Structure 1
């Protein structure tokens, strides 16, 4: 399918298809989510490491916040603690880093919106997984070294990555199709998708394209279940027109996978071609967004849960990708 046809189809269905799409629908969080008590504390580490930093203050901060210090600095290749302290002092006193910090302070004067969205996200996870332990949340200015760290007990947000798209400070050598996802709208959905890996049971011996599609499909399904009011584009990282275009051409996209017998292909280059980061999936169309296999996997997992009346936990526990596909009854819309 050529560029013109793909784009035109998206426009023709944009009005009639919105009611069927998962995006942009009026939505309120389930009352069962909102009834779960939740208070998230965000510790702003950038203030501690950039404001009037001295060696004594640096040592104090490293010792007071050992969890943060470990995940943030232990993998930076320092030979010993003395070298680490010396280098960190130089980094955070650097005029360029100081300027970046000041800009972050201006654009993120408060984190009330992020805090509220994280609380709603954790409520959603708690509803499905009462045993889920709320991780500690920190922010930092990393000099575009680390965007997000998401572990079971700790989350670190590199706020400099989430400055406005037109800001003069931007990550270096980051492709535009990826850079456009670095904004506050994508932030919490990205964190939730990362957290989903804790619950996403997977058969690691299955190296097929289908298994990779289902893995990502379960991740996105998890995020949408936890954040039901979040538009799809902020979960998968597509633009609205790309989602509309993909739904409009779902039959053609699916036909490409079937005709080329791709589902059970184990060639890592083929797997990456359809699920790895890319600006588009040229094998289908120059207008087909990249990672289209992940999007298809999401639709398959949605159908699997709906057609089998399963809970989110049951979906995430199923590690057999072929079983999910076979029982999904998936057909293009």
Structure 2
């Protein structure tokens, strides 16, 4: 019987390394640096893009059967949703798939991913390490199979009940000619590199497993929710820099620390923490070159960053596990119990 998958797609955020001085300023990392040395994780890591692009073009019907047998539900998700050429019920699937992998531009992008990622041992180790922390905090959660793919810049990360998919072409580095050709803004391109892959994966696992309810559309709830997604991400990689967790530059992190109290005062003075207006709230939690209403030196998504600091304060002030944090339904109570005091 076909199993309905829960899937989530996201474009990558990326990273710029943060100076050590700012790492020391950040709070929460030491408490999360738990011992996972005795935790075993059997991670299955497969390169779907190689299996796909090395297909025998003269026998595509057989190749479709092979790929469907080897990759099952992910193959169906890839053809049906990721590249939108139909599923196994499409009588022209073999023809459409051949057209996809022989497209000159797609083929060139595939070759670019293979040059940059001829092997993925370091990535495999980093993801395996992150899943050790995942198992520590969530011992009953399933560890998904990791599958890399190339989709023509459609999606960077795909999560399902059983699979974590990584679109390698979304991590070619900020100088990739393809990003210029596609007209991606600089604030997005700077974040499309290999260092972003694992944080992006962990963010999306959290976002997929713990979705914001329709009733939680006020700005404060969204800030707290995004903040705990970021806290989850650093819990899975407790020794990485804040900039890697949230995808800010070092200068943007510095700006946030220097303006933390100003930002919080702004939210209070404007009386917008309980706003449910999407057009208003997106100014503070959405992507962009900077936060509307703040200076051009500010990063976008400052509301997420503030929410992260509230969650950090909450976790340091209460005996709460990461699992309990993620399962807390009363998001506003997190602020109440956080003893949050923004820095001057």
Instruction: Return structure 1 stretches of 4+ with deviation > 6 angstroms.
Output: none
Contact 1:42–1:138 (8 Å) recurs in 2: yes
**Structure 2 unmatched runs, 5+:** 1-18
CA deviation string 1:56-111 (max 9, x = no partner): 22332123311221221112153842222211111112233222222211110110
Aligned to 2:218: 208
Shift, 1:52, TM fit: 4.6
In 2, the alpha carbon distance for the partners of 1:164 and 1:179 equals: 8
- 1:178 corresponds, among 174, 188, 207, to 188
- 1:261 corresponds, among 265, 268, 271, to 271
The answer as to 2:196 corresponding to 1:160 is no
Give the SS at the match of 1:106: helix
Q: 1:267 to 1:30 in 2, by over 3 A?
A: closer
The answer as to 2:325 corresponding to 1:325 is no
In 2, the alpha carbon distance for the partners of 1:37 and 1:15 equals: 30
Aligned to 1:127: 136
Q: Once structures 1 and 2 are overlaid, which stretch shifts more, 252-261 or 280-289?
A: 280-289
Q: CA RMSD in A?
A: 2.3
Aligned to 2:73: 67
Aligned to 1:245: 255
Q: 1:32 to 1:240 in 2, by over 3 A?
A: same
5 Å-filtered alignment, 1:82-161, equals 82-161=91-170
Aligned to 2:319: 309
5 Å-filtered alignment, 1:218-297, equals 218-297=228-307
CA deviation string 1:192-230 (max 9, x = no partner): 011113553754312210010011001001111121011
Aligned to 2:4: none
CA deviation string 1:10-67 (max 9, x = no partner): xxxx8976532259x9x89846212201232211111111125321223321233112
> Relative contact order (alpha carbons < 8 A, sep ≥ 6): 1 or 2 greater?
2
**Structure 1 unmatched runs, 5+:** 1-13
In 1, the alpha carbon distance for the partners of 2:230 and 2:317 equals: 18
CA deviation string 1:101-137 (max 9, x = no partner): 2221111011011101110111001001101111111
TM-score of the two chains, using structure 1 as the length reference: 0.89
Aligned to 2:14: none
In 2, the alpha carbon distance for the partners of 1:107 and 1:188 equals: 16
In 1, the alpha carbon distance for the partners of 2:21 and 2:33 equals: 26
In 2, the alpha carbon distance for the partners of 1:295 and 1:236 equals: 8
Aligned to 1:19: 24
TM-score of the two chains, using structure 2 as the length reference: 0.86
